[in-house]
Structure 1
Amino acid sequence: MDLSKMKNDRKLYLCRWYFYAGFACLPFLWCVNFVWFFSEAFRKPSYEEQKQIRKYVIVSGIGGLLWIIAITTWVVIFQTHRAAWGEAADKISFIIPAGIP
């Protein structure tokens, strides 16, 4: 998507939409919002909607980073403790490893 062809009010609308859609357990949208609009928020000449876009970009970046940290932490803990958790881990596993023969 080429943001340079969009009007400033449409940029703000799209940035806001991606920010709020991220609350629907779609933190990937926060990361996309941050990447797409970072240049628009911090590197472009100043315009009226830029202050709001900047706010959404910063909060989207923080939210995306927190989700990445949380998911990475969960994956590491689950992978290192799965065998010790026994049947409870098997119930929440999608693929159950065969084990060592």
Structure 2
Amino acid sequence: MDLEKMTNDKKLYLCKWYFKVGFACLPFLWTVNVIWFFNEAFRKPKYDEQQHIKRYVIFSFIGSVIWGIIILSWIIAFQVNRAKWGEFADDISFIIPLGVP
């Protein structure tokens, strides 16, 4: 998508939409929002909608970092405790590794 061809109103709408949809447990959309709109928010000359875009980009970044920490914490906890959790870990595993009782 080429943001240069979009009007400022459409850019703000799209940035806001990605931010809101990120709350539906889709934190990768917040990351996409930050990547796509970082230049619009911080490097382009000032325009009316830029302040709102900047706010959505900052909040999207914060949300992405928080979700990243949560997901990384879960991965570490699961990998460390998988064998101890026994059948429960098998039930929530997508792939059951061989060789670990």
Q: TM-score, normalised by structure 2?
A: 0.96
CA distance in 1, matches of 2:97, 2:29: 32
- The residue aligned with 1:33 is 33
Report the count of equivalent residues. 101
Which one is further off, 29-38 or 89-98?
89-98
| Percentage of matched positions with identical amino acids | 65
Deviation beyond 2 Å, 4+ runs, structure 1? none
Per-residue deviation, residues 12-45 of structure 1 (Å, max 9, x unmatched): 0000000001011100000000110011000000
- The residue aligned with 2:66 is 66
1:52 has 2:49 as partner: no
- The residue aligned with 2:96 is 96
Q: TM-score, normalised by structure 1?
A: 0.96
CA change 1:52–1:45 in 2 (3 A) is same
Aligned CA RMSD, in angstroms, stands at: 1.2
Q: Which runs of 5+ in 1 are unaligned?
A: none
